[in-house]
Amino acid sequence: MKEKQISKAVIKRLPRYRRYLKDLQKKGIEKISSKDLSKLIGYTASQIRQDLNNFGGFGQQGYGYSVANLHDEIGGILGLDKEYKMAIVGYGRLGRAIASYIANNEPKFNIVGIFDVKQIIQDVEDVEFKDAQIMTCKSLSSFVKSEHIDIAVITVPAEKAQLVADTVADAGIKGIWNLTAVDLDLPEGIAVENVHMSDSLHALAYYMQGTEN
Amino acid sequence: MKEKQISKAVIKRLPRYRRYLKDLQKKGIEKISSKDLSKLIGYTASQIRQDLNNFGGFGQQGYGYSVANLHDEIGGILGLDKEYKMAIVGYGRLGRAIASYIANNEPKFNIVGIFDVKQIIQDVEDVEFKDAQIMTCKSLSSFVKSEHIDIAVITVPAEKAQLVADTVADAGIKGIWNLTAVDLDLPEGIAVENVHMSDSLHALAYYMQGTEN
């Protein structure tokens, strides 16, 4: 199913397609044309057809797309038909917010370990992730190895981020979800996805300039 | 300085340039060639020159870019030489994490109001934002109007997001930083920037497929 050279821009759009298709499913809508999908999502119909053709295309001429089928197919392309074991590294405010978000919204991503410095984890009263162990960062490397952790979610302060990344990379991590303010330097073969909050806020500031007066 | 038709892709890269330039400044580096900047950031040198030429270009042939100057120029282009008044709408875990992040890292963005439902705000003990008022969402519209709020940061549950967006839009908001799982339908002229956590996580799942076995 998956082909080698799908552009990053297309990949970035796939979760968005899936999100809209999920909403349509909830509303009981069974099929949709690329034109109606276009109105909803805001990409052109030709863009949508082109994107989905990267993966073989799922629409039928004159019928449109089956909402459920397309949702599941995109999920499969993204790898959301599998389960992932996650470690949260950094359990301050952002770490807790992200952990809570994942636990409540992302059933395929299982938080099995939570790591922080001693002072923080001693302070954690509300362990709502019953299956997760809470440990200091000293155990991070051995835990990633022994538990075959797939994804490390890094929410430590910026100056610690590379050290954590090196540690999990050496321990055989497959993917890193980086929510710190810095970019990470990692060996080939480890997937990384960044959420740079400030970059997004600064882009907003730019867009606002057109709105003034 | 600002031109009309800068592509969204370029805008998205500017905060990243600025972030790297800030790091260079901290390290006491005064000038840098597009080639060295390219090694650091990972864009090609020609991409960098092309991006910065959109705004008139700041480099001198054979000298490179002045780090401080380019940092400040990009800040100016992004509108980071101004101050912004912000309201946080939704003060659950994510709202608190974001508010704390902004207060500690973004001096130009001033949180002046925090909004949530009654049960939540009664429960807020740690008001670390001394200049911010904490109110129920009933006061949101009048507060945005009377305080001339520039940006609403929306972190309410997905099903409430559009209602909040409509409220602040009607009250004359200029920009919305949307951290909910849904896209917002807004009138022209209001700047919106989304941080869709799940989209990012799902893209990571896709990239990890290449890393398996």
The confidence score (pLDDT) of residue B89 equals: 97
Residues in chain A closer than 8 A to B51 (CB atoms): none
The confidence score (pLDDT) of residue A56 equals: 67
Rounded average pLDDT over A37-43: 91
pLDDT in tens, A94-120: 999 999 899 988 999 999 999 998 777
Q: In sequence order, which residues have a C-beta less than 8 Å from that of residue A104 and are 6 or more positions away?
A: none
Q: What is the C-alpha separation between B124 and A120, in angstroms, rounded? A: 20
Distance from CA of B60 to the nearest CA of A (A): 25
Residues in chain A closer than 8 A to B196 (CB atoms): 15-16, 19
Mark yes or no for CB contact A16/B150 under 8 Å.
no
User: Measured between CB atoms, does B201 come within 8 Å of chain A?
Assistant: yes
Q: What is the C-alpha separation between A135 and B75, in angstroms, rounded? A: 40
Percent of chain A with pLDDT over 70: 88
For residue A30, give the nearest of A77, A62, A63 by alpha carbon.
A63
The confidence score (pLDDT) of residue A57 equals: 62
Instruction: Say which residue, B66 or A211, is predicted with more confidence.
Output: B66
The confidence score (pLDDT) of residue A125 equals: 62
Spatial contact of B6 and B56, defined as CB atoms under 8 Å apart: no
Q: In sequence order, which residues have a C-beta less than 8 Å from that of residue A4 and are 6 or more positions away?
A: none
Distance of CA B96 to the CA centre of its chain: 16
User: Measured between CB atoms, does A22 come within 8 Å of chain B?
Assistant: no
Rounded average pLDDT over A61-82: 89
Tokens 């967006």 correspond to B165
Mark yes or no for CB contact B101/A80 under 8 Å.
no
The confidence score (pLDDT) of residue A2 equals: 46
Rounded average pLDDT over A26-33: 92
Mark yes or no for CB contact B106/A201 under 8 Å.
yes
Q: What is the C-alpha separation between A202 and A208, in angstroms, rounded? A: 10
Spatial contact of B158 and A23, defined as CB atoms under 8 Å apart: no
Spans in chain B with pLDDT lower than 70: 1-5, 56-62, 123, 125-130, 210-213
Rg of chain B (C-alpha set) = 20
Instruction: Give the count of beta carbons closer than 10 Å to the beta carbon of residue B198.
Output: 17
Give the ipTM of the model, two decimals please: 0.91
Spatial contact of B51 and B16, defined as CB atoms under 8 Å apart: no
Instruction: Say which residue, A9 or A173, is predicted with more confidence.
Output: A173
Instruction: Say which residue, A141 or B42, is predicted with more confidence.
Output: A141
Bridge partners (DSSP) listed for residue A154: A89, A178
Could you tell me the two tokens for A93? 């405010």
Mark yes or no for CB contact A174/B208 under 8 Å.
yes
Mark yes or no for CB contact B203/A84 under 8 Å.
no
The confidence score (pLDDT) of residue A3 equals: 46
Q: What is the C-alpha separation between B167 and B163, in angstroms, rounded? A: 6
User: Measured between CB atoms, does A28 come within 8 Å of chain B?
Assistant: no
Could you tell me the two tokens for A207? 């867009």
The confidence score (pLDDT) of residue A17 equals: 94
Q: In sequence order, which residues have a C-beta less than 8 Å from that of residue B158 and are 6 or more positions away?
A: B180, B181, B182
User: Measured between CB atoms, does B97 come within 8 Å of chain A?
Assistant: yes
